Amino acid sequence: MSYNLEEMSWSDARNLLRKWRDDNERKSDDVMQLWDNVLSSKQSKLGNERHLVLEQVIIAALDCNRIETAEHCVSILSAEFPGSLRIQKYRSMLLEALERYDDALDELEQIIRKDETNAAPRKRKVAILKTQGRTAEAIKELCDYMKIFMSDQEGWHELCNLYLAEGEYAKAAFCMEELLLHNPHSHLIHQRLADIRYTMGGLDNIEMAKTHYCKAVKLNVNNLRALYGLFLCCGHISNSKLVIGKRKEAQKLAQWAMAQIQARTQPTAKDTKGAIKTGKSKAAGCEDELQALEQAFGGLDVGKVAN
């Protein structure tokens, strides 16, 4: 922290914490320093923001493994709001930090029974199950959550990751297709769906992967992963038993994709002249990037385009 804590007043510290809350910045280490050096003895002066600051300190303390500070703040809030579901959520997070996962799950179940529309405890429950390695149970819990909160894009992303961890590629592809409905112009979503389809294998999936790679490149022509995926898909299609027209089209598309890759990974004539003056540092960087691509995609030679 670049602030002088010795000269900082309690109002300056309060304003700084308020700014971080408004900007959605955690800054856990900095929050704990402000709390320890300035605000812990000035709680009564915080006014209406006192409870917000205590909540902010709880999260920061858990991030920094300051369990005693978190317990102290939770006890203060529990005494003032004994029946609050919000405070009960913080108690479950504290139990989770102490690795008392069963007790934390019991707290979360109580919150869910009292308020079935509360999304936060359901997400925490999935996180705990994932932490324990109970992936199948986490998937079931997250599926139940998505039936209620179908527009939660983060939930679809997490469910996709869990399915991929279990090798359920068809279900992971379904999750990405749901995300496309929410954000059809995201080149990263098209790229990831194409990656999953390509991994699934089979000519039908390869053709679907090619379509999504094309869409990803159309949305962002600098997406090297999508360009390389497009090149690989076209290579499979050109060597398949499809009609000659589709194979020729795939060959042309593969050549175009490789030309785009080479244009972004190999230095131009001007760059070469500049590299001579600067010790060819840029050419070395491009070569490293090209080697990384080849290693990521099975050691294929991307420096040449097959006729």
* Distance, CA of 149 to CA of 154 (rounded, Å): 11
* Distance, CA of 218 to CA of 154 (rounded, Å): 25
* Distance, CA of 143 to CA of 274 (rounded, Å): 55
pTM confidence score: 0.76
* Distance, CA of 151 to CA of 54 (rounded, Å): 31
Q: How many domains does the chain have?
A: 1
pLDDT digits (tens, 9 = 90+) for 217-231: 999 999 999 999 999
pLDDT bin (cut points 50, 70, 90) of residue 290 is low
* Residue 58 included in any domain: yes
* Residue 23 included in any domain: yes
pLDDT digits (tens, 9 = 90+) for 152-198: 999 999 999 999 999 999 999 999 999 999 999 999 999 999 999 99
pLDDT digits (tens, 9 = 90+) for 261-281: 888 888 655 555 555 555 555
pLDDT bin (cut points 50, 70, 90) of residue 9 is confident
* pLDDT score for 299: 42
pLDDT digits (tens, 9 = 90+) for 116-143: 888 889 999 999 999 888 999 999 999 9
Dig out the tokens for 176 from the structure: 């990405």
* pLDDT score for 163: 95
* Residue 120 included in any domain: no
Percent of the chain with pLDDT over 90: 47
* Residue 152 included in any domain: no
Average pLDDT over residues 144-150: 91
Range of the domain at 16: 7-41+49-81
* Residue 32 included in any domain: yes
* Residue 15 included in any domain: yes
Inform me whether the pLDDT recorded for 246 exceeds 60.
yes
* pLDDT score for 38: 83
DSSP state of 36: I
* Residue 89 included in any domain: no
How crowded is residue 108: how many other Cβ atoms within 10 Å of its Cβ? 27
* pLDDT score for 306: 39
User: C-alpha angle with apex 206: 201 to 211, nearest 5 degrees?
Assistant: 150
SS3 241: coil
* Distance, CA of 306 to CA of 125 (rounded, Å): 52
Inform me whether the pLDDT recorded for 283 exceeds 80.
no
* Residue 67 included in any domain: yes
* pLDDT score for 171: 95
* pLDDT score for 213: 93
